[in-house]
Amino acid sequence: MPDRRDTAIKLMEHQKFAEAIPFFLSLINSTPHDWSLFYMVGQCYRYTNNALEATRVLKRAAELKPDEAEVFLALGIAYQLDEDYKSAIVALEEAVYLEPQMYSAYNSLGLTYKLSGEFHKALEWYSRADKGIVSAVTHEVQKDREKCFRDEVIEGKKTRVILDYMFEKIHEILRSDPMYAIIKNNIGVCLIELGDINGAQEQFRESIEFIPDDYNYPAPYENLESIS
């Protein structure tokens, strides 16, 4: 028979969060120093819209595992849902400090500032995510230098030419994950609030371009239509 931990995790994986909570709480009673249990039950509380309990147990997870970025991301989101935006920002910035390429934390920081009405700060974090994602993907693609570059002599000077492969591969990778499309849409939303309608339209169009196949994401279509 599966043990209680396996049962709890399977319930969580099948999105039966309310059913998983009692199993996790029982496990915590017997192993109170296992940070992962607090983290998982915190996620269950979050998905059952119990932000208060989520923050309580995720704070304990962070105390037990202060070097785990995922814990601080989850804690920040829980604070955000509880409308404690100052605490959310502190937790999410810690997640970014621990894992600088965790762009979901940048996105959550942008949303937190947006919800608190600080649209310039929201745009700053969304833009940092945008640039960071593109930079990371570009760096990865450029590792295959033979496919990305070719040396040619142009007007008597040796010149490094960028090949189409590089742009096509970057586009392919950015379009393989919804995060980039989500970030571009969120930038557009902030630009609307800041009065830059043309800039917002450009961001929504780019978001639409990068939505992965079979990913249901109507937001940029709806936002673009609302300002067209």
What's the one-letter identity of residue 173?
A: I
pLDDT at 1: 37
Q: What is the pLDDT of residue 41?
A: 96
Question: Nearest to residue 212, comparing CAs of 172, 185, 183?
Answer: 172
Q: What is the mean pLDDT of the segment spanning 203-228?
A: 96
Looking at residue 156, its pLDDT comes to 80
What are the helix (H) ranges across 65-118?
A: 69-81, 85-98, 103-115
With beta carbons less than 8 A apart as the criterion, state whether 105 and 112 touch. Answer: no
Band of the pLDDT at 2, cuts 50, 70, 90? Answer: low
Q: What is the pLDDT of residues 28-51, one digit of tens each?
A: 999 999 999 999 999 999 999 999
* Predicted pLDDT at 11: 94
Tell me phi and psi for residue 189, to 5 degrees.
-60, -45
**In Å, what is the CA distance from 211 to each residue of 176, 185, 199, 214?**
8, 10, 19, 9
The stretch 74-86 carries a mean pLDDT of 97
Q: Which of helix, strand or coil describes residue 215?
A: coil
Is the pLDDT score of 188 beyond 50? yes
Query: What percentage of the chain reaches a pLDDT higher than 90?
Result: 90
- Residues 130 and 198: their CA atoms lie apart, in Å, by 18
Integer Cα distance of 146 and 142 in angstroms: 9
